[in-house]
């Protein structure tokens, strides 16, 4: 058992972890300068999009971990 499929899953799992690290780094709050309402709205929209991407990747990571017996 295992073989190529397992290697592919482990590679994908590493890719997901790297992507999650990058996305979480992008979630840093804006600078102390409050800016205007447009900037705040754009920041919130971008943050929500990043959080959605993180949630999907975390779900996929958990699924892969279960398949690999790393639960």
pLDDT attached to residue 38: 72
pLDDT at 32 over 80: no
pLDDT band at 19 (very low <50, low <70, confident <90, very high): very high
CA angle 29, 31, 33 (to 5 degrees): 130
Mean pLDDT of 5-19: 95
Residues 6+ away with beta carbon under 8 Å from 17: 61
pLDDT digits (tens, 9 = 90+) for 44-63: 898 999 999 999 999 999 99
CA distance 10 to 60: 12
What is the value of pTM for the model shown? Answer: 0.79
- Residue 43's pLDDT is 84
């Amino acid at each position: 058992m295992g073989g190529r499929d397992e290697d592919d899953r482990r590679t994908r799992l590493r890719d997901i972890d790297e992507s999650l690290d990058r996305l979480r780094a992008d979630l840093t709050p804006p600078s102390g300068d409050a800016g205007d309402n447009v900037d705040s709205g754009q920041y919130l929209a971008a943050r929500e999009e990043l959080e959605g991407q993180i949630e999907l990747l975390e779900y996929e990571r958990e699924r892969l971990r279960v398949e690999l017996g790393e639960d």
